[in-house]
Amino acid sequence: MLYQLHEWQRSFLGPLSYFAQANSSMLNDHSNPFAQFPGAQRMAAGYELIHRLGKDYEKPEFDIHSATAHDHEIAVIERVALAKPFCELKRFKRFSDDPATIEKMKVDPVVLVVAPLSGHHSTLLRDTVRTLLRDHKVYITDWVDARMVPAAEGTFGLDDYVGYIEEFIRHIGAESLHVISVCQPTVPVLAAVSLMAARGEATPRSLTMMGGPIDPRRSPTSVNNLATTQPLSWFKGNVIHTVPSNYPGRGREVYPGFLQHAGFIAMNPSRHLSSHWDFYQDLVRGDMDDAESHRKFYDEYNAVLDMPAKFYLDTISGVFQQFLLPRGLWDVNGERVNPAAIESSALLTVEGELDDISGLGQTEAAHDLCSSIPAKRRVHKVIEGAGHYGIFSGRRWRETVYPQVRDFIRKFDTSAS
């Protein structure tokens, strides 16, 4: 019923939002005599703010059509390499008309970026992908909004996530692959590679794990505390809802995106209130650069997807309540997950000093679990002054984190050697 109420609210706010957008555009049109009236700029700013507060935010595009590789401008085409009901494996194919650049790109390492299925779309890692394209062939997991997946496709749990990662690794080819997992997927990625190693399959040349809850018992954050202070039944009864009939996934149980978004805002409401007030002031002053930065950030931040209920509850129970991975008690489809089975893959873990989502030490715990990887093939980095998002997006990612990730991958990549 809550989901249906949200849809009614969305239907009500939609016309109001577009009315505000039209008025804002009218008052910003200098050829319109009304735009010359005193106070018109403030009215236009107020209308745009109303529009952005009430509009429906669709999934953003990656919008990566060009990049710089080996000091040359190259073209980039986004294509689907493998389509699954709940995820698309996407490749960003690079093109150049410079023969020397083409030869260099041919031997660049292949990287699979595993994006989190935790509320925001995979486009949140746009900066990660764009930066990696300088020196790598890049794939990424682009998770599908669960409300858009017909119920006939069945459920999707944490074990299914692990299975998807295994299939993607095999599809690309583990022998020449480097996997980068950001936040939540560090856990299923480590499980997938552990299972492949235990079966005697080839495993990726390197694993880079960034800001993930490998062992949430270390330096628990407010996110960890919420999961441990409430029983699983509380999550089932309070955050799981059924997709209404106006979506392809009608009847599917999900953790709705609008509830996740409310949770994001509730973590720091004063900061968001201040940000919107600053946006209004920027519009009044005519500071379009700062206003555009606000639009871009919230176009991404406010775009959320529904998570499959089974996956969400499996994660809460297995990762954050029972700590199955670090305790060595996790079984995936009857197979025990044993990270000590990994021997040939190199391991890099990256943590932000100020990470308030995955506390210090949670990702580093992977080194204790992957005890069969030689010490000379394992590296841990703590990025000073970085929060959670700073380790994979923004200036600190591009200038501090990325060079270390790039060099680590190159060190253990056969073709680059």
Residue ranges in the chain modelled with pLDDT below 70: 34-35, 415-417
**Helices then strands, each counted (H, E), the chain:** 16, 14
Task: Kindly state which CATH superfamily the domain 66-231+307-411 is placed in.
Answer: Alpha/Beta hydrolase fold, catalytic domain (3.40.50.1820)
Residue 416: its pLDDT value, please?
47
Distance CA 285, CA 270 (A): 22
Residue 285: its pLDDT value, please?
86
DSSP 92-151: EEEE-S-HHHHHHHHTSPEEEEE---SSB-GGGGHHHHHHHTTTSEEEEEEEPPGGGS-G
Task: State the CB neighbour count (10 A cutoff) for residue 128.
Answer: 26
Rg (CA), the chain: 23
Residue 202: its pLDDT value, please?
96
| Residue 328 and residue 189 in contact, taking contact as beta carbons nearer than 8 Å | no
Token pair for 405: 């990730």
Distance CA 54, CA 119 (A): 19
Instruction: List the strands of the sheet with 110-114, edge to edge.
Output: 66-69, 72-84, 87-95, 137-143, 110-114, 177-182, 206-210, 346-352, 378-383
DSSP 351-383: EETT-SSS-TTTTTHHHHH-TTS-GGGEEEEEE
| Residue count of the chain | 417
Domain extent listing, the chain:
2-56+257-301, 66-231+307-411
- Please name the residues in contact with 202: beta carbons below 8 A apart, sequence gap of 6 or more: 174, 175, 196
3-state secondary structure of 77: strand
User: What is the average pLDDT value for the chain, to the nearest integer?
Assistant: 92
- Please name the residues in contact with 230: beta carbons below 8 A apart, sequence gap of 6 or more: none
Distance CA 107, CA 93 (A): 14
Distance CA 238, CA 161 (A): 24
Distance CA 58, CA 368 (A): 41
Residue 34: its pLDDT value, please?
67
3-state secondary structure of 339: helix
∠ CA 317-239-125, nearest 5°, is 75
Residue 35: its pLDDT value, please?
67
Instruction: Say if pTM beats, i.e. exceeds, 0.85.
Output: yes
User: What stretch of H or E contains 403?
Assistant: helix 402-411
Residue 47: its pLDDT value, please?
84
Distance CA 235, CA 179 (A): 31
